[in-house]
Amino acid sequence: MRLFFGLGLALVVSSAALAQMIHGRGGITLPPPPEAPVAPVVDDYFGIKVTDDYRWLEDANSPQTQEFINTENAYTARYMDQARIRSQVVDELESLEQVSAWTIPIQRADDYFFEKRLAGEDQASIYVRHGWTGKDKRLVDPAQLSRDPNTSVVLLDVSRDGSELAYGVRQGGADEITLHVYDVKTAKTLSDELPPAVYYSVNFTPDGTGLFYTRTDRQGTLLYEHKLGMRAFRDTLLFGREFRGEELGPLDLFFATVTDDGHYLVVEIDRGVPARRVDIVYRDLTKPGSYFDVLTWGIDSRFSAIYDKGSWYVKTDYKVPNGCILKAYPGIMPDAWDKIVPESSDVIDDFSIVGNKIYVNRLHDVKTETSVYSLDGKPAGRIEYDGIGSASILAGRTSDRYGFLSFESYIQPPTIYRVDTVTGRREIFAQPKIPFAASDYQLQQVFYKSKDGTQIPMFIAGKKGLRQDGAERLLMTGYGGFDLSELPSWNPAWALWIEQGGWFALPNLRGGGEYGEKWHEQGMFGKKQNVFDDFFAAADYLIQNKYTSPEHFAITGRSNGGLLMGAAITQRPDLFSAVLCGYPLLDMLRYQSFEQGEHWTTEYGSSANEKQFEYLLKYSPYQNVKKGVKYPAVMFFTGSSDTRVDPLHARKMTALTQADSASGRPILLHYSLSGGHSAGVGVEQKIQDDADQLTFLWTETAQPAAHK
């Protein structure tokens, strides 16, 4: 029974529905979910009328929506109270997540600045180590800033002489941070404070007397200079709104850097998310009052630049989809630039210059390979890695002798190394002590055919000797979008899944960047269905090869991966038993009107465009839920601190799927009051959240019981 708005907005369960109990696996029994009132709103898209029954749930602050959230959380808690394995899951996660962890350091002379979280702490602090073998000294401790364990700090930049550092303070999982400056010598935070906002870049001026920062709002991104000791409202606008007669708007995102020699302020303008065009301008900081010159402008390709020894080195996909590195000359077209590192069959993932050498990370079938070149492009060696995994690009300044990188995989926790650019020698800077024996597990890569015959790679991990008899649980995740490559990475929750005897799989779907721009283009706009088909074909492969079966098959994804989960729910509910749909995009007809959604119209399109509306309507999960379909068990996971993807998607989809599903399986909403898209919640909160997710997925992939 659906209820329309009457005199009140209370969530009501009909007496007839009470007889139709919800049966979770593992003996869990629930009453029917609370029924959300229906208040239809009809939109007309180019003559096609589309009804939205739960438009009222878009208003997060209304008493009715708050009541909905509270009631749904109580319903989810009722499920968790019956889940017998949850306490064990928490204990196991404690051992994997309550460990010391580090970030890659920023080196200034003989000092190393980094974030470190000690075992037992909720958040990382900012530290400095004086000398390679020196002791770590805590500088900024979030526990001293707030009693809220979900208050975190992030190291943003360190001045050239190491006397000051810029850091951000984040509340929960929000994208916004507040900017602060810390004086290392006096061990005090300065009075300078920049208000909460989304900051894309923060850099000290060469003399350390100020900051260059880019900040975005609904109108677009702006580049400012802040003088230390001055009020933020006096900051000087350096770049934004328009350049060379071209208007810069909300889809143009700026990232600023200062060259290592302090000569130039460089601004990268990304047109859209992901950028299809990147412009680069620079300002000579040795000439006060000078304006910006152009390195590249108006070319529909992507560029990123590093300045070293008086020359510009640029990574680009201009006329080379897999990327190359050129030596650039301002004032002339890229066709005339010198080719330093040519295109190859493997896409260039990233590059850096450290110790006056070029380090290039390529993806060879989605595995990191790092090659080294001289500044004139001559091969100068490789960095070798142990087994299948992914490495960060070597981080450091162009003239530094040492650089730092991290290596990890699905069965290998991250280890941070210091690399000597002269000898190639590697030393461990930091390695977490995690009770997980990588030698007990296997990680393999397979290839399978998608619906249209395209070969898709997939990683599969599990315990050595784990059976392939179709009776084992399997957890699969995916993303497929925004030119982002899904590389083998460490995740404690996934590690626990395979530690407990389940398989784990990740297919590298089209829409990502694993094989260059062509791979990306095959999964965007009207070709988005390719992403979903790749995912379903991966599931078919795993079932046919008896890694699992539909009743033991769990899937998870967040953000754009949450959209993928929504498509799996609505297009292939027969394939999966349990779905974790995190921070998702689900109403693809309205997503662009909320939070940062407008940025993503360059990936998905917009319902305001008639041609794009047609394909969005065809796959948009929220518009494709059908009454009477037997949907799998689903947990929608979101948080009120998500300021990137509006939680309205999860709220509306929960109400609709609960009302229409005929399977009698649980449909739950897990709505965190502190969680969000960005990292930031405390370790204990993360453990509890991960425990809820794993408990749900593990329980709902158990052998189904017979119900009378």
Instruction: Give the C-alpha separation, 456 to 38, whole Å.
Output: 42
Which has the closest alpha carbon to 498: 572, 548, 446?
548
Burial of 642 (C-beta count, 10 Å sphere; 0-12/13-18/19+): buried
Q: What angle do CA 468, 470, 474 make, to 5 degrees?
A: 85
CA–CA dist 406, 159 (Å, integer): 23
Q: How far apart are CA 559 and CA 554, in angstroms?
A: 17
Contacts of 423 (CB under 8 A, 6+ apart): none
CA-based end-to-end distance of the chain: 23
Handedness of CA 457, 460, 464, 467 (dihedral sign): negative
CA geometry: angle at 636 spanning 635 and 640, to 5°? 135
**Spatial separation of the C-alpha atoms in residues 562 and 566, rounded to whole Å:** 6
What is the set of active-site residues? 559, 677
- Show the tokens assigned to 299: 């070319």
Amino acid letter, 137: K
C-alpha to C-alpha distance for 365 and 389, rounded to whole angstroms: 11
Cα 233 to Cα 212: distance, rounded to the nearest angstrom: 14
By CB atoms closer than 10 A (0-12, 13-18, 19+), residue 65 is buried
Query: Which element (helix H / strand E) includes 101?
Result: strand 101-102
How many CA atoms, within 13 angstroms, populate the side-chain half-sphere of residue 526? 7
Phi, psi of 266, rounded to the nearest 5 degrees = -110, 135
Q: Which of 152, 105, 98 is nearest to 129 (CA)?
A: 105
Which of 575, 366, 392, 345 has its CA nearest to residue 480?
Answer: 366
Give yes or no for a contact between 216 and 253, defined as CB atoms under 8 angstroms apart. Answer: yes
Tokens of 524: 């965007």
DSSP for 443-497 reads EEEEEEE-TTS-EEEEEEEEETT---SS-S-EEEE----TT--------HHHHHH
Helix runs in 63-159, H state only: 63-82, 86-97
Between CA 513 and CA 481 the distance in angstroms is 8
Q: Which H or E run contains 683?
A: helix 683-699
